[in-house]
Structure 1
């Protein structure tokens, strides 16, 4: 039987952070980022020989326009004992997400027309500021980080995106944009700041692919 949990309960908030990261990965783009605003309801159920399933009702907000929110129901299944299998996440969004096609295409065309590959670091900066032209680069990192968080979460972790340490565009001969990111994730349970390298491909019609990612030693970000 499912047991209801207080929405602020640690396990509920961990499962919610994972679910929100997964939704951002599946539905986000350089023109649209989604973040967890609130957990409205949560329950947990032990499934014999399988694992633990969390049922969640979430409120997600648009990173660029925090007045825009959508409700989301999600299920997160953590597999028993096997740390190498990513949790199963299923979700349904109620209502419409803001259309990001125009913003995505503007960003795509701008990067494609650069004479030299984009290189940047420390986004947001130490004051929390992001320049408008770096906003899509940051949103793309958040989307890709959603994939990394999904693949590496357990019931005892809660990852949050903190910062792009550096990003470098990689030249390609096909239609995709490729970026090599070093990001910082804040693991809220251990309070560790974890550097993570990600190679990210993106095309407006094809979505985001993280082709390679690896956790880096602590000093890698310095």
Structure 2
């Protein structure tokens, strides 16, 4: 069934698909965000759940003029809140190559004498310093995983801010960061603190090894 692109449930499914695509294809050199929903369709699958067929436009977080088309399918499972939605997506055309930016970031962090620690990204004026931009984009990609795992048909999450990030020393080639972030749930207007442990390597992409919703008082 064809749906208007502004249809709220379709828009929520589109935001989830964009978050998932960013988790799979993003990193410190690239963040992807939903620019527009071009087409949407929905179908109820008996005994399984509700499926959305979507045509999206994704934009690069750092370069709003850089966009790609994306087709996606999102299946929300009936009644079971503990199963993450099934998301499949195909990006049409090429994403900008980020190898150089990824390697510069990787080598910079690897060569630090003390582990990186930072907080409040962006700051209260919405600013992100150039050296923290890759840290923010990595959180953007990692939060795509959290959003995917915790979304239902009635939610729409977005990363609002990194409250705190700390690099964790490792003996292997991966970079590890411990993030405390704030997620904005657009439907309830709730701000939810979340902890996530993120591994990254230029060849292997983003992995979230551990994440947990934090109590409200963690906002303080």
Fold match (TM-score > 0.5): yes
Report SS of the residue matched to 1:122.
strand
Displacement after TM superposition at 1:221 (Å): 2.4
**Could you report, residue by residue, the CA deviation over 1:15-56 in whole angstroms, capped at 9, with x for unpaired residues?**
001000000000001001100000111010000111100000
Q: CA separation in 2, counterparts of 1:99 and 1:218?
A: 39
Displacement after TM superposition at 1:64 (Å): 1.1
Decide which of 42, 64, 84 is 1:86's aligned counterpart: 84
Q: Which residue of 1 aligns with 2:214?
A: 216
Decide which of 164, 179, 182 is 1:184's aligned counterpart: 182
**Could you report, residue by residue, the CA deviation over 1:102-136 in whole angstroms, capped at 9, with x for unpaired residues?**
10000000000000000000000011000000000
Aligned ranges 1:1-222 → 2 under 5 Å = 3-222=1-220
Displacement after TM superposition at 1:147 (Å): 0.2
Report SS of the residue matched to 1:15.
helix
**Could you report, residue by residue, the CA deviation over 1:127-165 in whole angstroms, capped at 9, with x for unpaired residues?**
100000000000000000000000000000000110000
Report SS of the residue matched to 2:181.
strand
Q: Is the 8 A contact 1:44 1:54 kept in 2?
A: yes
- Unaligned 5+ runs, structure 1: none
Q: CA separation in 2, counterparts of 1:172 and 1:94?
A: 36
Q: CA separation in 2, counterparts of 1:93 and 1:85?
A: 25
Displacement after TM superposition at 1:219 (Å): 1.3
How many residues are aligned here? 220
The RMSD of aligned alpha carbons is 0.5
Q: CA separation in 2, counterparts of 1:170 and 1:64?
A: 26
Moved over 6 A (4+): none
Report SS of the residue matched to 2:178.
strand
Report SS of the residue matched to 2:101.
helix
- Unaligned 5+ runs, structure 2: none
